[in-house]
């Protein structure tokens, strides 16, 4: 099998890249190790930055998002019993975010790829990326019970942290930067309308809590829990009671309760692999970087990576110059590190470290007070949350 761009992974990054390349007249083949049902049901991110929304619209992949997604013009911060709303458009020149689940983004992009795009092979497991430094890198993979080879001009690894693409970068050239946090998120989906019309980020002495949503009828909520917590060890009633404590305010706001349909624990870590390119192999999304979910950056960073690659390859096609492809890693990493910084700031702003001293608790509250009372600090948060520019 032969193509211009071999894409490993049919998450939102790989699928969007295939769509962008199709629109630019560039051939691609997408290899996905899981079946279609798994990809379309995989619960992940739900917040799309302004830039991601704009890219999906320009790619012709936003019809259902614009119909069913929930535009949000702000978030609410809660601490010390107080509530403070951060108004995104007023602070960023009109930018906002969209609540639209990753599962729905994938469904939309899969449908478009199968109808209009190149081959999308489910249950095609990539085994290795070979000859990265040659003009014809190859992806060995299994499909329908036999081993095959995909020959490419370029390979883009959108195959996540555990994928094979990153292994194509020699260990002696790799640099890894990471941080593991001593807590995670216990997340639930509940069949109950959200208790607030925007996301609520709560800092409490007992730990962080987040009120989010998937639709006007389905709530998504999170609790900070110790690292290694078993989600099933928490009863539904205990979860609702703890959420109520952490979201408590000095006014008459109340948390709506309903049937919990799923619960899971997400670990919290920061990770960056440099470089994001070796030869003709390019890394995108979780294959190259991971952020704690506090800043809602994971999916959006992956979008930035594949937009950068698609623009660079289209530029080479039009001009014959590899200048933008050669700058891919450096260009992406500038945005990645700003997002890592923002996610770290949001995480340390809102989560209580289990070993925090009273001094550190007061510093945390002082940081929140500054956001709530200083336009410069509030603007920095709003600009980071709605997204850094796609270069």
Catalytic residue ranges:
72, 201, 293, 297, 385
DSSP category for residue 54: H
Q: Let me know: does 104 contact 12? Beta carbons within 8 Å.
A: no
Helix or strand run (H / E) with residue 220: strand 218-226
Which has the closest alpha carbon to 250: 84, 82, 77, 78? 82
CA distance 382 to 73: 10
Which has the closest alpha carbon to 284: 233, 335, 318, 322? 335
Task: Specify the 3-state DSSP secondary structure of 190.
Answer: strand
Pairing of strands 120-122, 28-32: parallel
For residue 345 the two structure tokens come to 């700031």
Query: Left if phi > 0, otherwise alpha if psi is -120 to 50, otherwise beta: which for 320?
Result: left
CA distance 19 to 12: 10
CA distance 300 to 277: 19
| Nearest-10 crossing angle of helices 328-350, 358-373 | 110
Q: Let me know: does 243 contact 187? Beta carbons within 8 Å.
A: no
Helix or strand run (H / E) with residue 300: helix 298-319
Angle at 315 between CA 314 and CA 320, to 5 degrees: 110
Q: Let me know: does 281 contact 157? Beta carbons within 8 Å.
A: yes
For residue 8 the two structure tokens come to 């490993």
| Nearest-10 crossing angle of helices 102-116, 12-23 | 40
For residue 149 the two structure tokens come to 């080879």
CA distance 291 to 70: 23
Which has the closest alpha carbon to 194: 174, 180, 214? 214
């Amino acid at each position: 099998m032969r193509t211009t761009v071999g894409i490993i992974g049919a998450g939102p990054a790989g699928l969007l890249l295939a769509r962008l390349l199709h629109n630019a007249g560039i051939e691609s083949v997408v290899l996905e190790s899981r079946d279609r049902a798994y990809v379309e049901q995989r619960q992940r991110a739900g917040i799309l930055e302004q830039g991601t929304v704009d890219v999906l619209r320009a790619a012709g992949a936003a019809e259902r998002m614009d119909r069913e997604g929930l535009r949000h013009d702000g978030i609410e911060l809660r601490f010390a019993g107080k509530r403070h709303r951060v108004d995104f458009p007023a602070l960023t020149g009109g930018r906002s975010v969209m609540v639209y689940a990753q599962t729905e983004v994938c469904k939309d992009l899969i449908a478009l790829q199968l109808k209009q795009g190149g081959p999308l092979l489910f249950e095609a497991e990539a085994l290795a990326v070979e000859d990265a430094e040659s003009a014809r890198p190859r992806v060995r993979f299994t499909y329908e019970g036999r081993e095959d080879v995909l020959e490419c001009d370029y390979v883009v690894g959108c195959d996540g942290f555990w994928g094979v693409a990153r292994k194509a970068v020699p260990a002696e050239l790799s640099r890894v930067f990471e941080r593991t946090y001593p807590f995670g998120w216990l997340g639930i989906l509940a069949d109950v309308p959200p208790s607030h019309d925007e996301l609520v980020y709560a800092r409490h002495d007992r730990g962080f809590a987040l009120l989010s949503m998937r639709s006007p009828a389905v709530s998504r909520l999170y609790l900070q829990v110790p690292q290694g917590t078993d989600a099933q060890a928490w009863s539904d009633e205990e979860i609702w009671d703890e959420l109520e404590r952490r979201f408590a305010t000095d006014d008459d706001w109340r948390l709506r309760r309903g049937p919990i349909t799923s619960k899971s624990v997400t670990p919290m870590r920061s990770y960056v692999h440099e470089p994001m390119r070796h030869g003709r192999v390019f890394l995108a999304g979780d294959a190259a970087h991971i952020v704690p979910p506090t800043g809602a950056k994971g999916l959006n960073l992956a979008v930035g990576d594949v937009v950068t690659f698609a623009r660079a390859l289209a530029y080479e096609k039009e001009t014959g110059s590899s200048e933008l492809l050669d700058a891919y890693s450096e260009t992406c990493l500038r945005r990645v590190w700003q997002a890592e910084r923002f996610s770290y700031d949001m995480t340390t702003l809102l989560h209580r470290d289990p070993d925090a001293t009273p001094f550190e608790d007061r510093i945390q509250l002082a940081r929140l007070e500054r956001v709530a009372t200083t336009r410069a600090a509030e603007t920095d948060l709003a600009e980071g949350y709605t997204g850094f520019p796609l270069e």
